[in-house]
Structure 1
Amino acid sequence: MDFGPVFALIFGGCCSNAWTLERSMQQLPTSGTLMTFVQFVATALVALPGELTWRRWHGVPIVWLKTPQIPIRRWLVQVVLYSTTSILNNTAFAFTIPMSVHIVFRSGGMVVNMVLGWAIAGRRYNFMQIISVALVSAGVLAATLAAAAPSKAEDTNTGRYAMGVFLLSLALLSSGVMGIFQERTYARYGHQHWHEALFYTHLFSLPLFLLNPGAIRQQFKDANMTPKHWIGYHGVGAFVPSYYTMLTLNVLTQLLCINGVNRLTASVSSLSVSLVLVVRKAVSLVISVVILNGDGGNFTLWAGSTAVMVGTLGYTYGGLREASKEGKERVVRDASKEGKEE
């Protein structure tokens, strides 16, 4: 596998996606639902060709959807969880949550995964995993409090910030439940159906936006009110609201990011994937804090972020060691069993 294009997709696509997301939300903080809707439409359309096949209807060849390899009812459950997580994450921007906290908070999902895995799936964790999750928890708390410090002067801002943190917490919980459900789905039907999951989770999420059409209409109106700039070539073009330019870039970079992550996941170990994604998040954090906001951050923010990154790697490595240990024990048991049978 040529890792050059893959790393270009991940670091170029994912880091650019974080940049365009922050720029979009700085321009229109209340556009979270609109952005999520457009992202879902674009992803479903791009994934659609891979789920089409030729069939015959009364002897006439027609293009139709492939038969899903996983029952639709399982996708419907995952759709509710996935769309809820995406909407909550994007809506949190409207409550003065900086991008740096978004990045750190999303990296703390393993805390919820561990608790839910212990409570629902009956899992047990080794010492390294427990220490790593404690480190991640401390890092998320430190980074969150560090970002909240400048807004304590105004009770209103502090209250809005707390509401945004609450939304991010709900998103983590929803994401954790979705992760366990997805693991059980793949364990039962196989891991090779990621493209089918990508298509159906985004396609079936679109009707959920009809539950609150007023929000999308209002956000479209707000987007249309942003300053317009000329997009064209040699006099052919039009004046377009500036928000749509950044929104388009966000959608395109998200597609590149998804492509890169899926290629990497299919080619290397989970520890290697985690390492690459941790470095990517660190780069995004630097871009957000230092380049976009022209701020060096503070010691607490960087210490918390470092703790999250190190804890993520420790948790992943501890999980792989546990899996390797279980695999060796299984081989020994099987060998012993075969010896007795002989």
Structure 2
Amino acid sequence: MISSLVQVFGGCCTNVFVLDKLMAKNDTIPSDNSSKSLASLITFSQFLFVSMASYTHNTDFKNGQWSRLYLKKSNVPMRKWLALVSMYFAISLMSNWTFSCNISVPMYIVFRSSGTVITMLVGWMFGGKSYNTSQVVSCCVITLGVLINSLPADLSDERSLSFEIEPKFLLGITLLMVSTLLSAFMGLYSESIHSKYGNQWKESLFYSHFLALPLFLVVFPQIKAEFIQVWKVDNISRDAFQYLVPFGIVVSDQSVSLLFNVVSQYICIRGVSLLVGSNSALTVTVILLIRKILSLFISIACFGHELTRNGLIGGSMVLSGAVLYSLAGQKNKKKSLKKGKKDI
């Protein structure tokens, strides 16, 4: 439990901090539009590092074959992992693209916290799940919170309501909505795999990233342009840090930030996987909500993000609604257990 908490709070919060630092620094560097967001490079680097770090847990060098990269036979059919990989790849890419659409890290955190609403609807419509009144109310509170958070700070200003003023912002909101919806379907699909084949979190961690690497060939030119932009030392301001690595190579602070980002991403994902495998759903949900709140405060305190009144009200409603949803779900689960005992 301690190991899981250290990885979740340390890895996930560090990842948000470094990502915010990386994006803030990139905004100050002149570049063309093709290499401005760093979304493709960040996503590819994360997938590559997680694949390398989790490779040894899925290999058998003694009995394995080199043609299969010494990989052990998977407990879950490969076609199941391929379907999961396609969804996870699209979600990760869209999530990182939102930062190039005038979506701040605080708004991203608040909006992604509304995933329980989409999960409930998808579970009810496609998973045959039922929910009690408290869960439905909590989801309505979360939805209202997201809408308030997405509204302009000044509703009296007609310019703030014009769609032509911030088309990139609307695109970012659309990407967030699509990625959140896809996350709900992926969660439902993962739940079906978990119930049928058991908790194969090490296998899932590796294949969900490794099998997605060839998909990045589609955005390879973008990755190349962004890599060159990050690696260029002459684009660093005078007050920026420069790091010396072996062989006398000078590495830009953006390159180091990118390295910290992918390492912390791996620690974060591994910690969440450990947490899910050893704790109840209520415990996991509450811990992750606390982590999101902490990440939100870190982002605001360290990078000067302005949390508007709408953002504060909407964020509070989202987090409060998510906690209420978790408590309602746990209460419903206890009632089901009691009913099952009576039936026995």
Q: TM-score, normalised by structure 1?
A: 0.88
Task: Tell me if 1:230 matches 2:222.
Answer: no
Q: Per-residue CA shift, 1:4-26, capped at 9, x if unaligned? A: x4333222221111011111122
Amino acid at match of 2:293: A
2:55 is paired with a residue whose SS is helix
**Which of 75, 79, 88 does residue 82 from structure 1 map onto?**
88
| Rg comparison, structure with higher value | 1
2:166 is paired with a residue whose SS is helix
Distance change in 2, residues 1:237/1:189 (3 Å): same
Q: Distance in 1 between matches of 2:166 and 2:154?
A: 7
Residues 75 and 201, structure 1, Cα contact 8 Å, conserved in 2: yes
Distance change in 2, residues 1:212/1:256 (3 Å): closer
Bigger strand share: 1
Provide the residue aligned with 1:339 in structure 2.
Answer: none
Q: Distance in 1 between matches of 2:4 and 2:130?
A: 34
Provide the residue aligned with 2:343 in structure 1.
Answer: 333
Provide the residue aligned with 1:152 in structure 2.
Answer: 160
Report the CA distance between 1:155 and its aligned residue.
Answer: 6.2
Residues 8 and 267, structure 2, Cα contact 8 Å, conserved in 1: yes
Aligned residue runs from structure 1 range 300-339, under 5 A: 300-334=310-344
2:189 is paired with a residue whose SS is helix
Residues 141 and 321, structure 2, Cα contact 8 Å, conserved in 1: yes
Task: Tell me if 1:72 matches 2:97.
Answer: no
**Which of 287, 298, 303 does residue 292 from structure 1 map onto?**
303
Provide the residue aligned with 2:31 in structure 1.
Answer: none
**Which of 136, 155, 159 does residue 130 from structure 1 map onto?**
136
Q: Distance in 2 between matches of 1:202 and 1:134?
A: 34
Q: Distance in 2 between matches of 1:266 and 1:147?
A: 41
Report the CA distance between 1:159 and its aligned residue.
Answer: 1.2
**Which of 232, 238, 255 does residue 244 from structure 1 map onto?**
255
Task: Tell me if 1:9 matches 2:24.
Answer: no
Q: Distance in 1 between matches of 2:258 and 2:43?
A: 10
Deviates more, 1:137-146 or 1:103-112: 137-146
Report the CA distance between 1:148 and its aligned residue.
Answer: 8.9
Residues 64 and 70, structure 2, Cα contact 8 Å, conserved in 1: no
Task: Tell me if 1:108 matches 2:106.
Answer: no
Q: Distance in 1 between matches of 2:64 and 2:197?
A: 29
Q: TM-score, normalised by structure 2?
A: 0.88
Report the CA distance between 1:237 and its aligned residue.
Answer: 3.6
2:244 is paired with a residue whose SS is strand
Provide the residue aligned with 1:269 in structure 2.
Answer: 280
Distance change in 2, residues 1:57/1:146 (3 Å): closer
Task: Tell me if 1:34 matches 2:41.
Answer: yes
Q: Distance in 2 between matches of 1:80 and 1:148?
A: 39
Residues 244 and 251, structure 2, Cα contact 8 Å, conserved in 1: no
Distance change in 2, residues 1:319/1:213 (3 Å): same
Residues 100 and 285, structure 1, Cα contact 8 Å, conserved in 2: yes
Deviates more, 1:211-220 or 1:130-139: 211-220
Q: Distance in 2 between matches of 1:104 and 1:148?
A: 19
Q: Distance in 1 between matches of 2:313 and 2:60?
A: 51
1:231 is paired with a residue whose SS is strand
2:54 is paired with a residue whose SS is helix
Report the CA distance between 1:232 and its aligned residue.
Answer: 2.5
Q: Distance in 1 between matches of 2:133 and 2:274?
A: 32
Q: Distance in 2 between matches of 1:214 and 1:312?
A: 40
Task: Tell me if 1:139 matches 2:145.
Answer: yes
Distance change in 2, residues 1:291/1:275 (3 Å): same
Residues 40 and 219, structure 2, Cα contact 8 Å, conserved in 1: no
Distance change in 2, residues 1:232/1:148 (3 Å): farther
Report the CA distance between 1:153 and its aligned residue.
Answer: 8.9
Paired residues, what number? 327
Report the CA distance between 1:49 and its aligned residue.
Answer: 0.7
Residues 27 and 243, structure 1, Cα contact 8 Å, conserved in 2: yes
Provide the residue aligned with 1:189 in structure 2.
Answer: 197
Task: Tell me if 1:255 matches 2:266.
Answer: yes
Report the CA distance between 1:132 and its aligned residue.
Answer: 0.8
**Which of 164, 174, 177 does residue 169 from structure 1 map onto?**
177
Identity %: 30
1:212 is paired with a residue whose SS is helix
Cα RMSD between the aligned structures?
Answer: 2.5
1:66 is paired with a residue whose SS is coil
Q: Distance in 2 between matches of 1:95 and 1:195?
A: 34
Distance change in 2, residues 1:292/1:148 (3 Å): farther
Q: Distance in 2 between matches of 1:134 and 1:240?
A: 49
1:239 is paired with a residue whose SS is strand
Task: Tell me if 1:283 matches 2:294.
Answer: yes
